[in-house]
Every structure is written in C-alpha cells, then in structure tokens.
Structure 1
Amino acid sequence: MATQPAPQSEPAQPQDAPAAPDGALTPENALAPIIVKKITIEEGGHHGGAWKVAYADFVTAMMAFFLLLWLLGATTEDQRKGLADYFTPTLVKLKEQSAGSDGMLGGSSITDADNYPNRAGQTGTQSITIPRAATGGAHKDGAPTVEEIEAQAEHRRKAMMAQIKRRLEQERALRKLVRQVRVVRTPEGIRIDLVDDADFSMFALGTTVLVPEARQLIGVIAQTLGSEGPSAGAQLIVRGHTDALKWKPGVRANNWSLSTGRAEATRQELLRGGLAEGRFARIEGVADRELLVKENPADPRNRRISVLVLD
C-alpha cells in the first residue's frame, strides 16, 4: 500500500514590523554622512627688511672702524697728514698750510708751498705722489723712525754703562761699587741709579752726608756726563729715594725732607765734579713713593739716588 508524502509546511512569514513614524530615520532611508574639510591657510603679515639695513650699516661701520685703526697703526704722522690731504674734495689753496701742518707736529701737507708751487697767474703742472703704506723706513724728510730712535737710545745706555764701569774699575777702591750702579732706559731718557744695599750706603744713616766712597762714585758719574758724547749738555733731574722705615717719635725729620736733602747733596757733588749749574732741570725728593723693591718696602735697595739724563 502506497504511502502519501506528507504535505510540506510553508515557511513562516515574518511579522510585519511596526510602522515608523513619519520623518524618522530608518536603515532604508539613511544616507552616508557628508564630511566637508576646509583648509585655512593663515599667512603672516609682510615683514619689512629694515633690520637688514640696520645690520648692514653696523657691519660697514665696524669695518670702517677697524680699517681706521689699522691705518693709524701702520702709517707715520706725515703719511696720515698726506692721506687726509689726498681725500680732500679739492686741491685749491684755501690756506697757506693745511691738514694741521701749522700745528705742534709741523707735518707737511699735500698743498704746502713745496708741493703746490703754481699759484694764480702761473702755469705748469705739478705731480702729486699718492701716499704709500708705511714700510718702517725713514720719514720722507729724513727724520729718524721710532725704531731708530729706540736703537740710538739703547746704544747710548750701553755706552754710558760701559764708560762708568771702565772708570770705576780703574780705581781699586771703587771696583766693588760697579754693582751699585744701574743704567736703565725710561720714557724720559736714560736714568742712572746709585743704589744702596746691605753692605753699602751712600749716606750716613738718617742724614744727607755722603760717605767718601759715594763722593768718588758721584765724581765718576760727573765725569761720564760731562765728557764728549750724545749725553753731553743734556738736562738732568736728580731724584732722591728712601725706604719705608719709620722715624723715631719726636724726630722732626721725615722721608720727604731726607730724600730731597740727599738729592741736593748729590747735585752739589756733581757740581764739584765739573758739571755746569745750567745742566740741572729739577731736584726732587719722592720719599718712599717709588720703591725699587715693592714687595719689601724696608729693603735697603729702595734707598737710592737717580740721575735722569733727559732726551
């Protein structure tokens, strides 16, 4: 007996969802979001270049300043005056002498009479030499350079010391005094120092009385300064120095009067040695204000007489 197939059941139908209210967003009517990207470019204001101009002016000024310093150090007085005249706007003879040529230094000018001979009513040409860089040689007027002056002064100093030493060594009693003499170069001239030490003193203690050996030593100095040579006739300054030892209470003397009195006693002895009265420019006493041994004010080497031979 044949079997009948079972009737197939129909799939369940989904129940209708409740209706959405009007205007509500549903998956069926939802749209993709729209994203709007705005790129805002903020530009700064216009920056001026005034600082560049100021900086350029500063650099230019500094360059000119250092160039000026170089010129001042690399040229002589006459060459600087020549440079000043060379850069003047005109060569018209406004003055008899220009560029300071009538001042204390007496420099020559590019418009001096020797360099600018053609006055009004005259004809002709005159060549003008452009100032050159300093070469360390002599001035155009033949005057010695600074290096030559220093070399001459050093030569005089050595010659003076050699002459004093030779004169002292000629006398047996004075040979030991060579160590008391110092000859040094100063901006004012050549200075001869007669220095005390622990074994020798030019003056009796606390007085202006020269000991016999000191009189002989000063006589040798007078012979040296009075002999023929570059220093013959030069003006002299005699200066007295003391140490910083204190005086006993109640004593009226002091280092000022003592140093001045010793300088005067030295001058008198130089006169007896043959120097003329007119050779002396000044007599000075500086007490203990110019110590030779500054680290030890009581050192006997601070007691000395200086004879300065002026240039």
Structure 2
Amino acid sequence: MSANKEREVPVRIIYRKKGHGHGHHGGAWKVAFADFMTAMFAMFLVLWLINQSSDVKSAVAGYFQDPLGRADEFGSSIVPGEGAQASVVRPMRPTDVTDMRLNKMEVMSRLQEELASAPELKGVMDKIEIKLTDEGLQIQLLEDSTGVFFESGSASPSWRGRGVLAILGQELGQLPNPILIAGYTDARPYRRADGYSNWELSADRANTARRILQLNGVGDHQVLQIRGFADRDLLTPGDPYAASNRRVSITMKFDGTPAPSDSTGSAGPQAQGAFE
C-alpha cells in the first residue's frame, strides 16, 4: 500500500482565463462618421456652386424645380397614349441643358458677343441686326452696295457671309428652337433670260443660308420654313432701291411666339422659289 501511495501523482486542473480584449463599443461611431461625411459633401457642393457661372446656377435651380422635365414634352395625362404627342428630341450636347434655360435677352447678348469677337466680321457689325420681334429672336444680315454677305445678283455667299452664318450655326444649333429663314431683295427689276427673278434670288439666298447653318450645327428638324419675299417686304419702304432692303433674316422662335403667317413668300424647308 505504501508503495502505491508513493506512485500516485496528484492531478492538477488548471483553468486559464481567455482574454476578451476591450469591450464592445457599439455602432455609434459609424453614425457620427456618416454625419461628418454628409456635412463635408454638402460643404464642398456649396463651395462648388458658389464658384460656378450664373448659367450653371440657373440650370441647377431649374433641375430641382422640374427634375424630370417631362411635362412640356409628353403632356399632362398620366394615361399612356393620351395628352400631347411626344416630340422627337435630338441627343443633347452638354451645354444644351443650360442653353435651354437661357431667356431671350441672354441668347441675344451671347450672339452679339460671339459675332463681335470674330476677326473676320470687324467693320461690318453694323450690317448685322439682332432684335426681338413678335416671331422670336431675329438676326438680319443687311447688304450694302458692295455686297457684304452675298455677291450682287447671286445666291453665292461672300467669305464674310460664310463666316457669320458659320458662327450663327454653331450657336443656334445648341438650342432646340425652330428656325425661320427668309430672303429679301430691293425693288430694282431683276430678270434673267431664263426667267430667274427676284423671287428665286431671295428664296435661293435663304436656302443657301440654311445649308451653311446646317453644316455648322443647326439640326434639320430645327428648320421650320425657308421663305423668299422678293421686294414685297421692304426694310426701307421710303427708299425701295436702298441696299439695306437686300437682306437675309434668321428668326429663332421661342415658346409663346405666334406661328408664321401665310403672307407673301415661299414657305417650306425645301422652297426653291416663290411666286404669287
């Protein structure tokens, strides 16, 4: 017995405590961090807006007033197929959203600035008349005895004529508004042996202007009418032979302006001449 007792080894049970580290702090820090990031984003957005131009500010304000921008295009009915017929809208360039929200005076001012800054137009700006009419924003290219924009008795544009029409095409092409183009002559008798007269000349000059405008940005869907008035709508009635009666006018219509009247002159996107 004594020998067995000597061989017995006491069993020791050791309990080791596992460390749990720091206690759980919860998710409160995540909420605070999210609030901080939101505040920083809002601050940078405000700083960005403050440094933007008035055009961008106007566009941003307009977006929040009408985020979807569908009321004018698709009508007021919520039933598919009812309401105003959806208009076909061309893919918009980045500046279109801003330009669409510019008012008439801003568009007119920008056109004047662009034309005045063109070196090729120095000295002839007094022959370019931009004004607001009942039909919309009207740009008139007025001739003089030297043939500023078109060669005398011809529908071929001068280099200045091509230059001003190219600038107008770039600017007007950024807007979705429809355009009316009209040609006018003075009262001097003009008739070639083949019967070509002031009627054809006025309409052909308007059509030449259309081609140059479209080559430089104006969309085909924008051209509403090409009209030739010959000498039936003189700019200077008191002097029917005045060179300023020979002109080409480009009118951009805005919402609310009346439709063009069926007055004397040719009408239609592909008009080649005008007869009564």
TM-score (norm 1): 0.46
Higher-Rg structure is 1
What residue number does 2:190 align with? 247
Structure (1/2) with the larger helix percentage: 2
1:1-311 matched pairs, under 5 angstroms: 156-227=103-174, 232-247=175-190, 250=193, 252-311=195-254
Mind listing any 5+ residue stretches in structure 1 that lack a counterpart?
1-154
Give the Cα–Cα distance (whole angstroms) in 2 for the partners of residues 217 and 310 of structure 1. 20
Give the Cα–Cα distance (whole angstroms) in 2 for the partners of residues 295 and 202 of structure 1. 23
Per the alignment, in what secondary structure is the counterpart of residue 212 of structure 2?
A: helix
Runs of 4+ more than 6 Å apart = none
Give the Cα–Cα distance (whole angstroms) in 1 for the partners of residues 148 and 188 of structure 2. 15
Give the Cα–Cα distance (whole angstroms) in 2 for the partners of residues 172 and 183 of structure 1. 19
C-alpha contact (below 8 Å) 1:157/1:183 kept by paired residues: no
Give the Cα–Cα distance (whole angstroms) in 2 for the partners of residues 187 and 248 of structure 1. 33
Per the alignment, in what secondary structure is the counterpart of residue 265 of structure 1?
A: helix
RMSD of aligned alpha carbons: 2.0
TM-score (norm 2): 0.52
Give the Cα–Cα distance (whole angstroms) in 2 for the partners of residues 176 and 222 of structure 1. 21
Give the Cα–Cα distance (whole angstroms) in 2 for the partners of residues 198 and 157 of structure 1. 32
Structure 1 residue 252 displacement after superposition: 1.9
Letter in 2 for 1:215: R
C-alpha contact (below 8 Å) 2:148/2:160 kept by paired residues: no
Letter in 2 for 1:240: G
Mind listing any 5+ residue stretches in structure 2 that lack a counterpart?
1-101, 255-276
Number of residue-to-residue matches in the alignment? 154
1:103-130 CA deviation, whole Å, 9 max, x = no partner?
xxxxxxxxxxxxxxxxxxxxxxxxxxxx
State percent identity of aligned pairs.
26
1:16-58 CA deviation, whole Å, 9 max, x = no partner?
xxxxxxxxxxxxxxxxxxxxxxxxxxxxxxxxxxxxxxxxxxx
Structure 1 residue 263 displacement after superposition: 0.6
Distance verdict in 2 for CA 1:187–1:165, change over 3 Å: closer
C-alpha contact (below 8 Å) 1:157/1:184 kept by paired residues: no
Give the Cα–Cα distance (whole angstroms) in 2 for the partners of residues 249 and 281 of structure 1. 30
C-alpha contact (below 8 Å) 1:165/1:178 kept by paired residues: no
1:256-304 CA deviation, whole Å, 9 max, x = no partner?
0110111100000001111111100111101011100110111000011
